């Protein structure tokens, strides 16, 4: 497997079973995985343009329906303009600073876009529901997952990936409560059935799998309501992206060994804490060990600067659409 995702370096690609300090009590741990991902530096500065381009290149994956993406696939600017029409973050921008501080979702769309990009470039995933587009519908926004993908396997089968994406000011233990609560909701059997029912009811799969008709038929047959939820869980993967502000990254000026070692140590520590909490929270959950969880940690130097850039750029694109 590549040591990069797009132009980002992979520092860690590991299983919790290899770094769990207490595998006797904190178990099962063979179904938990960690990816640590970092952006580069240039002339003493974090490469924000690199990060911004990743947003530009992948926003359509989650903000546009498959048919729309197909129609303007060769027109990157139109992709950006059309995608900007569906962003929720812009609509919340008019509130005062105190409300912004309390707004837990501030920046979440950025994390969702990054997750869709990672799914595309690292896991060769096919976007099954463009969540930003469909979250305009309040009924869709009620479900716990931030991304829905299908991954085709070498044995002519498929996996279901239901993801969670957050953008935080730090990675303190308290931050883990929110994604864990969302995942608990997402893994409720009734919610899984509703999500998969929506998936089979939309036209998305027909478009993205139109060149593989046998696989399309197989996916739809298995995802229908009569399939046992036990069979679904065997195919289920949960990627959890925690995009986070990081003092180590903010204080760095170059992609040297010292910086990488600090991030590796920090991310192993944070992942250990996260997986402990997750395993405890899901104790007693039927077939927990059948579901694979992929924690993805991505540090940035300053969250607010990224959010303000995103809002400003998206506003400009919306104006261009008028």
Q: Specify the pLDDT at position 76.
A: 86
Taking CA 68 as the corner, what is the angle to CA 64 and CA 69, rounded to the nearest 5 degrees? 75
Determine contact, residues 133/202, Cβ cutoff 8 Å.
no
DSSP state for residue 144 in the 8-state scheme? S
Counting Cα atoms < 13 Å in the Cβ hemisphere of 308 gives: 6
pLDDT of residue 220 exceeding 90: yes
Mean confidence (pLDDT) of the chain: 91
Q: Which two tokens stand for residue 228?
A: 């046992």
Distance CA 244, CA 302 (A): 9
Domain locations in the chain?
Answer: 4-321
| Alpha-helical regions (H) of the chain | 48-63, 66-71, 76-84, 97-102, 108-122, 131-134, 138-141, 177-186, 189-201, 204-208, 213-223, 229-235, 247-250, 257-281, 303-321
Distance CA 29, CA 180 (A): 16
Q: Which residue has the higher pLDDT, 60 or 319?
A: 60
CA dihedral 22, 26, 32, 35 (to 10 degrees): -40
Q: Name the residue among 145, 129, 106 with its Cα closest to residue 239.
A: 145
pLDDT, tens digit (0-9, with 9 covering 90-100), for 17-64: 999 999 989 999 999 999 999 999 999 999 999 999 999 999 999 999
Collapsed DSSP state (helix, strand, coil) of residue 71: helix
| Average of per-residue pLDDT across 66-73 | 90
Is cis: bond before 159, omega within 30 of 0? no
Determine contact, residues 242/298, Cβ cutoff 8 Å.
yes
């Amino acid at each position: 497997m590549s040591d990069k995702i797009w132009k980002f370096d992979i520092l860690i690609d590991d299983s919790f079973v290899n770094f769990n300090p207490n595998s006797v009590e904190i178990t099962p741990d063979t179904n938990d995985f960690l990816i640590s991902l970092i952006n580069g530096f240039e002339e003493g500065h974090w490469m924000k343009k690199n990060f911004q381009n990743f947003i530009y290149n992948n926003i359509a994956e989650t903000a546009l329906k498959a048919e729309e993406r197909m129609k303007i696939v060769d027109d990157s600017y139109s992709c950006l303009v059309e995608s900007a029409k569906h962003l929720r973050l812009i609509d919340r921008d008019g509130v005062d600073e105190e409300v912004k501080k309390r707004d837990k979702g501030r920046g979440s769309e950025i994390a969702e876009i990054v997750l869709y990009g990672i799914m595309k470039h690292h896991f060769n995933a096919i976007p099954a529901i463009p969540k930003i587009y469909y979250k305009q519908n309040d009924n869709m926004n009620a479900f716990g997952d931030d991304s829905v993908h299908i991954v085709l396997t070498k044995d002519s089968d498929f996996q279901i990936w239901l993801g969670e994406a957050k953008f935080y000011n730090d990675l303190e233990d308290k931050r883990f409560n929110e994604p864990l609560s969302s995942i608990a909701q997402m893994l409720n059997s009734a919610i899984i059935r509703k999500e998969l029912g929506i998936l089979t009811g939309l036209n998305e799969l027909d478009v993205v799998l139109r060149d593989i008709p046998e696989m399309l038929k197989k996916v739809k047959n298995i995802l229908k309501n009569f399939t046992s939820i036990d069979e679904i869980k065997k195919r289920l993967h949960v990627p959890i992206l925690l995009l986070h502000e990081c003092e180590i990254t903010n204080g760095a000026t170059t992609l040297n060994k010292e910086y990488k070692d600090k991030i590796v140590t920090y991310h192993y520590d944070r992942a250990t804490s996260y997986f402990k909490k997750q395993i405890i929270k899901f104790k007693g959950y039927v077939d927990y060990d059948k579901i694979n969880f992929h924690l993805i940690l991505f540090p940035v130097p300053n969250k607010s600067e990224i959010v303000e850039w995103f809002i400003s750029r998206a506003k400009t694109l919306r104006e261009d659409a008028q």
